[in-house]
Structure 1
Amino acid sequence: MTLRAVVAGCGHYLPDRVVENTEFEKTLDTTDEWIRARSGIERRHFAAEGQTTSDMAARAARAALTDAGRDVSEIDAIIVATSTPDLTFPSAATMVQAELGMTNGFAFDVQAVCAGFVYALSNASALIASDQARRVLVIGAETFSRIMDWSDRSTCVLFGDGAGALVLEAAEGDGTPADRGILATDLHSDGRHRDILYVDGGVSTQSTGHLRMQGREVFRHAVEKLASTAEAAMEKAGVRADEIDWVVPHQANIRIIQGTAKKLGLSMERVVVTVQDHGNTSAASIPLALSVGAARGQVQRGDLIVTEAIGGGLAWGAVVLRW
């Protein structure tokens, strides 16, 4: 018998404000065509004034709990993946815990930028496999609109805000790839590359800072590392690429998504793509894409899924799971 972390429900939340590419034409030397051609992004959502990461995380969490048919009193732990928490401390996860009315269990944040949700899933799987928790609410939530340099057309047009969540439950499996739940994870980081994607501020520098990115360098690392970690996770899970029903990648850039799929030998018809509507929502992008994919009827029970992401650090990783 093997304890698996099985997806029991999913949900997401997007702020009401939708920002089309054309809005940037008013203040930047850019066009809708330029943005689409380089990123695949057509629009994104921005949080309202006063709306915080924990606000959006709690809304996504409620949607996931409803989908799972679970009450918050049945949740043992909350993990929030975010790089844009409301405050330096306490964690956004404890704020979500309070907002949901959860008085038992524990809650904490994971910070691995765009790879945050993959890291959070790995942590949740380990908690369940070690019987430290039976049900874990895993959330990715970001308000990247608060750290944009609005004069930098190479970055500010790429990012958006939002949140997505999964409810994971312990279930017994046979220890084979036919099991439902998380089958394998693969995580990496390399701090030598921190200067190609970072925020130039923080608590110890006493400034909020703005996101800075060397786009060509990020792209150069992304495709190779994403394909490599996906292959490693599939090998650990004992599955082949041709058995994968869906790739649900970090939604950063359509060219990176296409390049990774090609390197894995997978058709884009087997890739869930939401980047055109959400932009890059960092740690929120994978749970958002999973929830939207499920709502569309793409992702269905029993489907074999690989999800992968890379972000500042550099940090990257992949998860193989059966829905």
Structure 2
Amino acid sequence: MTRRAVVKGIGHYLPERIVPNSEFEKTLDTSDEWIKTRSGIERRHFAAEGQTTSQMATSAANAALAMAKMDAEDLDAIIVATSTADMTFPSAATMVQSAIGNTSGYAFDVQAVCAGFIYALSNANALIASGQADRVLVIGAETFSRIMDWTDRSTCVLFGDGAGALILEAETGDGTNKDRGVLSVDLNSDGRYKDLLYVDGGVSTQNTGVVRMEGPELFRHAVEKLAQTADSALDKVGLTADDVDWVVPHQANIRIIQATARKLGVGMDRVIVTVQDHGNTSAASIPLALSVGVSNGQIKPGDLVVTEAIGGGLAWGSVVLRW
């Protein structure tokens, strides 16, 4: 018998303000068609003035708790994946913990940029598998609109704000790839590629900074590394792409999503795509897409799901789970 981390609830939150591509035409040498052709993005959501990452994370958390029919005090741990926390410290996770009314658990943040949710999910799975927790709330939340260079059309049109949350609970499985829950994890990073995607500031430099990206080179690494990590995670549990019901990729760029699916040998009819509506929400993009896939009736109990993401670092990874 094997202790598995099984999904019990999921939810998401998007800010009220919807920003269509046409809004950028007023200030940049760009167009709706230019943005759609190169990224697949049609619109994104931006946080309101004063709205924070932890507030959005809290809304997503409450939605996941409602689906799971759990109380906040049922949670043993809370992990928030974010690169845009409200403050340098304390963690956004402790702010969520207070906001939802959890006093008996522990909370911490994970920072792996767009791969953050994969890393957080891996940590949650390890806590459950080792017996250190029975129920873990995993959240991806970002306000990337706070770190944009609004004069750089190659980056500022790509990102959006939002949050997604997922609750894992310990269950006993047979130890086979037929079990429900997280089946395998594959994590990677290579700091030599830092300059492909980064923010040119930080606490120790006393400068908040803005997002900088080398798009063409990042694209090449993304397709290669995303397909590799998904294959590795599947191989660890004796599965192949033919066994997969749904691929839920990081929603960065439709061309990356399509190229990775081709490399994996998975048709786009088995890929959850939300990039057109949300843009790149970094660590929030996978839980957002999972939540939309569930609410749309696409992802169902028993489905085999592969999630994969790559972000600054470079950091990348994937998780195979049976819903």
Q: TM-score range by the shorter chain?
A: over 0.9
Which residue does the alignment assign to 2:187? 187
Find the aligned partners of 1:237 and 1:159 in 2 and give their Cα distance: 34
Which residue does the alignment assign to 2:45? 45
Which residue does the alignment assign to 1:227? 227
Offset of 1:175 from its aligned partner?
0.4
Which residue does the alignment assign to 1:126? 126
Find the aligned partners of 2:257 and 2:170 in 1 and give their Cα distance: 31
Find the aligned partners of 1:222 and 1:53 in 2 and give their Cα distance: 26
Verify: 1:145 aligned to 2:145, yes or no: yes
Deviations 1:201-238 (A, max 9, x none): 00000010000000001101000000000000000122
The one-letter code matched in structure 2 to 1:115 is A
Verify: 1:301 aligned to 2:318, yes or no: no
Any gaps of 5 or more consecutive residues in structure 1?
A: none
Offset of 1:112 from its aligned partner?
0.2
Alignment size in residue pairs: 323
Find the aligned partners of 1:288 and 1:237 in 2 and give their Cα distance: 26
Find the aligned partners of 2:185 and 2:238 in 1 and give their Cα distance: 12
Secondary structure of the 2:19 match is: strand
Q: Which runs of 4+ in 1 moved over 2 A?
A: none
The one-letter code matched in structure 2 to 1:144 is F
The one-letter code matched in structure 1 to 2:187 is L
Which residue does the alignment assign to 2:292? 292
Which residue does the alignment assign to 1:85? 85
Which residue does the alignment assign to 1:267? 267
Offset of 1:105 from its aligned partner?
1.2
Find the aligned partners of 1:86 and 1:237 in 2 and give their Cα distance: 38
Secondary structure of the 1:248 match is: strand
Verify: 1:12 aligned to 2:12, yes or no: yes
Any gaps of 5 or more consecutive residues in structure 2?
A: none
In the superposition, the TM-score normalised over structure 2's length comes to 1.00
Superposition map of 1:20-59 within 5 A: 20-59=20-59
Offset of 1:182 from its aligned partner?
0.2
Secondary structure of the 2:249 match is: coil
The one-letter code matched in structure 2 to 1:170 is A
Find the aligned partners of 2:55 and 2:321 in 1 and give their Cα distance: 28
Find the aligned partners of 1:251 and 1:195 in 2 and give their Cα distance: 21
Find the aligned partners of 1:246 and 1:88 in 2 and give their Cα distance: 36
Find the aligned partners of 1:102 and 1:168 in 2 and give their Cα distance: 16
Find the aligned partners of 2:98 and 2:237 in 1 and give their Cα distance: 36
Offset of 1:240 from its aligned partner?
1.2
Offset of 1:294 from its aligned partner?
0.2
The one-letter code matched in structure 1 to 2:80 is V
The one-letter code matched in structure 2 to 1:236 is K
Find the aligned partners of 1:170 and 1:86 in 2 and give their Cα distance: 30
Offset of 1:151 from its aligned partner?
0.2
Which residue does the alignment assign to 1:313? 313
Find the aligned partners of 2:290 and 2:237 in 1 and give their Cα distance: 20
Find the aligned partners of 1:105 and 1:295 in 2 and give their Cα distance: 28
Deviations 1:153-195 (A, max 9, x none): 0000000000000000000000001000000000000000000
Deviations 1:71-121 (A, max 9, x none): 001000000000000000000000000001110110000000000000000
